[in-house]
Amino acid sequence: MLSLLALALVAHQDGQLSLDPKGAVTARLGYYPIRVDLAAAKPSNVTKEPAYRTTPKYGLIKVGNGPKATTVIAVDEPADQDWKIYIDKNQNGDLTDDGDGAWNKKADTRGRTMYGVMDVTVHASYGTATEETSASDYMLGFYRFVGQDFVLMYRQSARTGTVSIGGKSHKAVLVENDADGLFDKTAASAEEAGKSRPMWLKVDSTDDGKFATMIDTRAPFEYEGKAYEAKVKPDGSHISIAPTDKPVIDLTPKQAAAKPLLASGSMAPNFVAQKWGGGDLKLSDYRGKVVILDFWATWCGPCQESMPHVESVFKKVKSKGVAVIGVCVWDDKSAYEEWVPQNKSKYTFQFAFDPAGKDTAKSIASSMFNVNGIPTTYIIGKDGKVVDSVVGYEEGDKRVEAALAKAGVKVD
């Protein structure tokens, strides 16, 4: 949680930001999946390869703008065996010395098997085409669905430290969303902003550990009634924020206006969703039970990874007055209606669909629960009040169990 992030940040000079390998995860931010296309042509710098079981396909990922920014991946995908992904993490052209290539095989989604691998550290290179002036270890995650010709990639890392804005210093987290390790993107207009994704600067402007202020640093922005402009080094190691006479450009109003998740002790808003099996599902119908409210989507890889854990917890506590509601949000109903029958035998909790579908602004998650990324899970007490919330999922994650303990439910 962000309050834990606040405790983890160390003292820096204003504007000096350190790379936190999993800072974007710790900051409880969602992610944008980035497509990595695959091709049959072997990159010229590959000199040694494993014994593939079928004809491999290759992809290139670029993190940074320096001479060593490009990393090769290769996928080996026989029809009758588990797949492999080889990532040349040390960039020596040898695909045999960076691990065994194992993916984590996950549940079917839309009738396809999903493979995923998290916490992959690659070399981020900065400088010019011929000279590397700085470098870092940048953490990425990958996942892939059977039947697609590409791999999906997302960033895990972020820059953390302190920033000076309006004459005051505050803890801050800087997160890029293109999974390319570049933090200096700019946009002269909202149209140009569409060429890259938001550059999030989350600022603990009230110094309470909540990091409630969200700024997109790609263009001049407004803060406490004044216009400012951010200058960021490509590697994100330094940011300076100064007043400006340039007009403010509202690039990503949804993110800029993002609200913190509902606070512990606040009343969880009632909602009506479409219950799997027919009829309406109302949160108010669960009053008197502890509720694990899980927001997910069929296209969300981390959601698929977290769901078996939620099911495992549910089996241990359902006799203790605990219910789980898995609400599919930001999604096509047709995809949801395909996914549930394919996976229903694996899960014993209740599924529901947000009638807003892909309209994120009107969705239950966004408009009522201030959700910015999924999976996001709320634990709601018997009195209908929020006990805690959890964003994202990592293998071995025990945050749901800890939140249940706050609600008076021990997970055996």
Q: Which of 268, 292, 288 is nearest to 351 (CA)?
A: 292
Tell me the C-alpha distance between 313 and 301, whole Å: 20
Give the confidence band of 202 by pLDDT, cuts at 50, 70, 90: very high
Section 399-408 average pLDDT: 95
- Among the residue ranges 61-75, 170-184, 252-266, 293-307, the one predicted with the least confidence is 252-266
Give the confidence band of 343 by pLDDT, cuts at 50, 70, 90: confident
Residues pairing with 151 in the sheet: 36
Give the confidence band of 359 by pLDDT, cuts at 50, 70, 90: confident
Task: Evaluate whether 245 touches 260 at the Cβ level (below 8 Å).
Answer: no
Task: Evaluate whether 338 touches 306 at the Cβ level (below 8 Å).
Answer: no
Section 62-72 average pLDDT: 97
Res 111: pLDDT:
47
pLDDT at 42 over 80: yes
Q: Which of 83, 73, 80 is nearest to 52 (CA)?
A: 83
Find the angle CA(212)-CA(213)-CA(218) to the nearest 5 degrees: 145
CB under 8 Å to 345, separation ≥6 — which residues? none
- Among the residue ranges 122-131, 192-201, 285-294, the one predicted with the least confidence is 192-201
pLDDT for 99-132, tens place per residue?
A: 999 998 765 444 457 788 888 999 999 999 999 9
More confident: 310 or 28? 310
More confident: 335 or 308? 308
Give the confidence band of 80 by pLDDT, cuts at 50, 70, 90: confident
How high does pLDDT run on average in the chain?
Answer: 89
- pLDDT-above-70 percentage for the chain: 92
Res 192: pLDDT:
72
Task: Evaluate whether 123 touches 62 at the Cβ level (below 8 Å).
Answer: no
pLDDT for 205-231, tens place per residue?
A: 999 888 888 899 999 999 999 999 999
Amino acid making up residue 371: V
pLDDT for 239-249, tens place per residue?
A: 999 999 999 88
Tell me the C-alpha distance between 386 and 389, whole Å: 8
Res 255: pLDDT:
40
Tell me the C-alpha distance between 127 and 65, whole Å: 6
More confident: 368 or 334? 368
Section 390-394 average pLDDT: 87
Res 149: pLDDT:
80
- The burial class, CB within 10 Å (0-12 / 13-18 / 19+), for 146 is middle
pLDDT at 57 over 80: yes
DSSP state of 259: -
Res 148: pLDDT:
73
pLDDT at 163 over 60: yes
Q: Widest CA span of the chain, in angstroms?
A: 65
Section 91-95 average pLDDT: 97
- In the chain, CATH 3.40.30.10 covers 272-406
pTM (whole model) above 0.85: no
CATH annotation of 272-406: 3.40.30.10
